[in-house]
Chains A and B, each alone.
Chain A
Amino acid sequence: MSLIHTLARLEAVESGRAQPLATVRHRHLAARPLVFVPLTTAGEAGAPLGALVGADRERPRLLLVPQPRDRDLRFAFLSDLAEELLPYVESFADETEPAERAETDPETGKRVKVEVELCADAPQLIVPSLAGIEFVRLLGRSMRFRRTAEQDPDTPYPAPPRVPLLGRWLTHFAERARVPGSALIAAMTELLSRHWATGQSSLEDQHLGALLAWIDPPGEGRDGEGSGAAAALRAETARDEAGQLLCPPAGPATDPAFDNKLLAPAIERYDRARSAVAAAEDGLAADRHLAELTAAEREIAALVESRTRPTWDAVWRGLDLLAALPEGERAAERWTRDRWSYTGHRDRVLAGEPPQPRLDDAVTAANKLATRETAQARLEAQEALDDPLVMAGRRLSGEAFGGEVTEVVMAYTESKRPSPRPLVTLRTDDSPHLAERAKVYRSLAGKPQSAQFVGYDEEGGVVLRILDKMGRGKEPEEGSVPVKGDRITWTLFEHTPRGGPSLPEPEDTPWTHGGPPGEGAQAPDPVTPEDVL
């Protein structure tokens, strides 16, 4: 943690209120995000208990699995979820704009520009916490290899029609979440803790209720009931007379006390009513038991809603807080990359490609890692350029320096057609880690201008030689060279990091990496009769 971040946390402790870590919003927020608040069953992998989902803050849809161990009920839930999510996701597919993409021509092997479609906007999924993203990944994995009766009439326990497709989309969202700076899916706790420092640890910041309590406390001051600390403590630990948490965890895991005291008895009543319906000997009895069954289901629904609704509201409150920050200039550029990602997956689905494999092959894994490393470097650079508070951190760590221009001396290259190479001296209080002849960059009308570190003058001023962006003539273009008195920030990091070289195609995987991957068709997970979890 940088000292600036540490100071912000300490100031939060002192003031009883979270302190800013950013002066702009570093993630794009969609005009119409879809919020998904899932709950899962303890001890089971991918056995949802229920969820609130929707793009309308006032009217979330409650989805439910009254008996999480029942496969049919689980499928019904997933089918409902597909019905909510897929129309939203697909609603961005049709409106496109023309764009260009570089592709390798299969004939010549050359890079050529290709005209393609780019979706004008993209869906955005918001979940409460990182565990929510992991749950999305898990759901995606559990669904994408399922077979529907239409795909395979002989499949045992066929999945409802749109469930495998939902699995592919959720997998795509979860995979995209691993790309630094992406916003196709976001966890509210991550969004908030990127922009505010609380007076607690980052581990405790994983609790959405406590995090919000710090950012938007009910009162003022370090101590007292209204402070962020007191409100966060209440959110974490306060329980009612029955021993239930007042602020339920944001999920997908539930509180054991809720499971044991409320949910388990309710599910038991549901099970009892269901067996009674099945065992009913006459219509009258069946009706009576059916009424019991409905009541039991309604009870579970009320329980699930009572544990998800506070989180639902908290997520929207978080969105309000974030929306109040102006969006960073370069966040839009990253959102365009999210749109590319969305468009790409749309195309793969349309082209009838199979679901994402269980494991990446060597080339895909290496490509993903390279993409993410570039994205990370780009994100760090863009955030610093967009936000003086982030830049302050880079200056403190010696990766950037700011100051006033004290002298500009014109100089030229020694070629036949001399080009300008002016020497600029900067007075700075920062201590950048400048190696001999290090390259540094500044933003000139949004484009990076580079310079070379020449040395220090007698007063300790940094002397730089400007290298580019001065036009084609002998004399630099107007405004392209700093003048005395200008205040400039230079960075030691590049502003637009490039990706590395292209890797071989998967079918050309070399012997060192096991050769080309086999044609391993991604078979569905085997289902067994006893797979009633």
Chain B
Amino acid sequence: MTPDPTRTHRPDAPDDRSPSDGPPSERSPSDRSPFDPSAEAARATAAILHDTLHGEARGVVVDSPPGAGKSTLVVNAALELAAAGRPLMVVAQTNAQVDDLVLRLAEKQPDLPVGRLHSSDADPYDKALDELDHVRKSTKAADLAGLDVVISTAAKWAHVKNVEPWRHAIVDEAYQMRSDALLAVAGLFERALFVGDPGQLDPFSIVGSEQWAGLSYDPSASAVSTLLAHNPTLPQHRLPVSWRLPASAAPLVSDAFYPYTRFRSGTDHGDRSLSFGVPSDGSGPDRVLDEAAASGWGLLELPARHTPRTDPEAVRAVAEVVRRLLDRGGATVSERSPDPAPLTADRIAVGTAHRDQAAAVRAALAELAVTGVTVDTANRLQGREYDVTVVLHPLSGRPDATAFHLETGRLCVLASRHRQACIVVCRAGVAELLDEHPSTEPVQLGVTVKFPDGWEANHAVLSHLAEHRVPYRPQ
């Protein structure tokens, strides 16, 4: 496949290659072909903005891999549309995302009149918005009429009725938005820019929706799949460069999770580094830290055992790794700060699959007197960025793999939040678990097969991690 920086090669595009033949070969980072990430990214952004501002199509779709500057794109597009005098509504999925966008817009252009449409619940928006002079907040869309940009969640927009449609909209995190949520708001705008990351967790419904499987407008599918099924000729772009993922991570994440829409790291090997002031004490956690500092990845492997989700040893190991990460005086160097910056607790996150695991890790960290480190599930870590992440592998210690634990998006989120290094804590035996996983999935006619599937992606990540394995037998 020839890489084309702006045109997305969709996973459902015909391709005779089967996934286990390996992803299409592309220039590898070691390859000395000229690749200027800034120029590539700028070219992609310019094409997107051109299609958005001057194109004929009613919609423009942008795929953005992890850390490819999606938020920056949304802010720039919003500012340009506002500057062109086109009233704009922005649809995001969560209140946190909405508030974040408002703050970013205000930071970039403090005098831009922005409306924050919010719910009538208690504490409907971030108090920081109250400090912004040009941001008006209301529960009624009518109060915000005429402002350059009005921002809210899809859920709140769905209640807005009987208003003049906006000429333009930006739909953020469009792959995490359900088709029925788009149906509820699409009448509010004439045309829209849809931005999102196809590799993260898919939307879901709490009841069965098999009866609509394969229909172009399956209400439980993602908004983008419905949009493209009905409007296959819309221009599709993708952001080709991840500014978050280091050169050590981008190839793996790209191969394992985006085999048909590959991307590259914006930085090269050596542009970033993680080092410690305190030498290793030779323990498992310290050795895996050194491995991760050297290679960007570390696998702390505990002896094979079937455990409950809140495996005390694994939870404890996660907490120890974090404790040592702080104790050893970690320092990071990156293109942002050529001088070593101390690795502080707020630059570290722990990712888990389940909430009770997150709770157990928080308790274990409290026992080790660690504060300020983010601990959350994959769902809640979507869209977030840290220097170092410590991940409790979703399949660690499990007697069986379920669809939930195998979900591609979950692993992708967990493996793509870091700028420097990612350390995975896991029981041995996951490869065998995957091999023995029964594969008897039902197949629905007309449903586009999601690639890569979780089983395959898990194997890919695991075999890469195996090269950075540190066996650990907790005391």
Contacts and interface: CB of A to CB of B under 8 A. Distances in A.
Complex contact flag A–B (Cβ < 8 Å): yes
Interface stretch (A92-100, A125-133, A284-292, A358-366): A358-366
Nearest to B190: A511
Contact of B180 (A180, A366, A375, A452): A366
A508 B188 CA distance: 11
Contacts of B355: 398, 433
Interface stretch (A49-57, A314-322, A498-506): A498-506
A370 B211 contact: no
Contacts of A375: 207
Interface residues of A, number: 34
Nearest to A439: B122
Given A178-B211, A373-B206, A365 B218 contact: yes
B183 A510 contact: yes
Contact of A369 (B161, B186, B187, B207): B207
Contacts of B223: 512
B207 A376 contact: yes
Contacts of B183: 362-363, 366, 503-504, 509-510, 512-513
Nearest to A361: B217
Interface in A447-465: 452
Interface in B177-193: 179-180, 182-184, 186-187
The winner among B180, B187, B209 for most chain A CB atoms within 10 A is: B180
Contacts of A500: 155, 158, 184
A503 B217 contact: no
B131 interface: no
Nearest to A360: B212
Contact of A365 (B182, B184, B208, B219): B219
Contacts of B58: 511
A43 interface: no
B59 interface: yes
Interface string B337-360: 000000000000000000110010
A365 to B, nearest CB: 5
A243 interface: no
Contacts of A501: 155, 158-159, 184
B348 to A, nearest CB: 21
A362 B207 contact: no
Given A369-B209, A433-B359, A513 B186 contact: yes
A109 interface: yes
Contacts of A508: 187
Nearest to B165: A510
Interface string A136-173: 00000000000000000000000000000000000000
Interface in A410-432: none
A373 B59 CA distance: 30
Interface in B198-245: 205-209, 211-212, 215-220, 223, 226-227, 230-231
B195 to A, nearest CB: 15
A376 B356 CA distance: 23
A372 B207 contact: yes
A363 to B, nearest CB: 7
Contact of B217 (A433, A452, A513): A513
Given A512-B186, A514-B230, A373 B205 contact: yes
Nearest to B230: A514
A239 interface: no
A10 interface: no
Interface string B92-135: 00000000000000000000000000000011000000000000
B253 to A, nearest CB: 30
Contacts of B218: 365
Contacts of A511: 58, 186, 230-231
Contacts of B226: 362, 512-513
A362 B183 CA distance: 8
Contact of A512 (B206, B215, B227, B356): B227
Interface in A216-275: none
A10 B161 CA distance: 53
B162 interface: yes
Contacts of A359: 215
Interface string B153-170: 001001101100000000
The winner among A178, A398, A512 for most chain B CB atoms within 10 A is: A512
Nearest to A435: B355
A437 interface: yes
Contact of B179 (A180, A360, A366, A504): A366
Contact of B356 (A180, A361, A398, A513): A398
A362 B159 contact: no
B208 A109 contact: no
A389 interface: no
A362 B59 CA distance: 19
A377 interface: yes
B180 A514 contact: no
A369 B356 contact: no
Nearest to A180: B207
A66 B285 CA distance: 75
A185 to B, nearest CB: 16
Contacts of A366: 179-180, 183-184, 217, 219
A500 B159 CA distance: 9
B182 A362 contact: no
A394 to B, nearest CB: 14
A361 B212 CA distance: 10
A501 B207 CA distance: 18
A250 B224 CA distance: 43
Nearest to A513: B217
B212 A365 contact: yes
Given A365-B218, A501-B158, A512 B123 contact: no
Contacts of A373: 205-207
Nearest to B218: A365
Contacts of B211: 178, 360
A369 B162 CA distance: 24
A441 B123 CA distance: 18
Nearest to B58: A511
Given A362-B217, A500-B158, A513 B206 contact: no
A503 B161 CA distance: 10
Contacts of A360: 211-212, 215
B310 to A, nearest CB: 11
A520 to B, nearest CB: 14
B180 to A, nearest CB: 4
B179 to A, nearest CB: 7
Nearest to B214: A359
A48 B117 CA distance: 57
B418 to A, nearest CB: 25
A462 to B, nearest CB: 15
Contacts of A109: 161-162
B230 A503 contact: no
A294 B206 CA distance: 53
A377 B206 contact: yes
A22 B305 CA distance: 34
Contacts of B356: 398, 433
B438 to A, nearest CB: 13
B123 A369 contact: no
A512 B154 CA distance: 15
Interface string A188-228: 00000000000000000000000000000000000000000
Given A360-B211, A369-B180, 5 more contacts: A361-B217, A437-B122, A500-B155, A510-B187, A512-B227
24 contacts: A109-B161, A178-B211, A362-B183, A365-B212, A365-B215, A365-B219, A366-B183, A366-B217, A369-B180, A369-B209, A373-B206, A376-B207, A377-B206, A398-B355, A433-B359, A500-B184, A501-B159, A508-B187, A511-B186, A511-B231, A512-B226, A512-B227, A512-B231, A514-B217
The 8 A-B pairs at the shortest CB distance, nearest first, are namely A510-B186, A366-B180, A362-B217, A501-B158, A366-B219, A514-B230, A512-B186, A372-B207
Interface of B: 58-59, 122-123, 155, 158-159, 161-162, 179-180, 182-184, 186-187, 205-209, 211-212, 215-220, 223, 226-227, 230-231, 355-356, 359
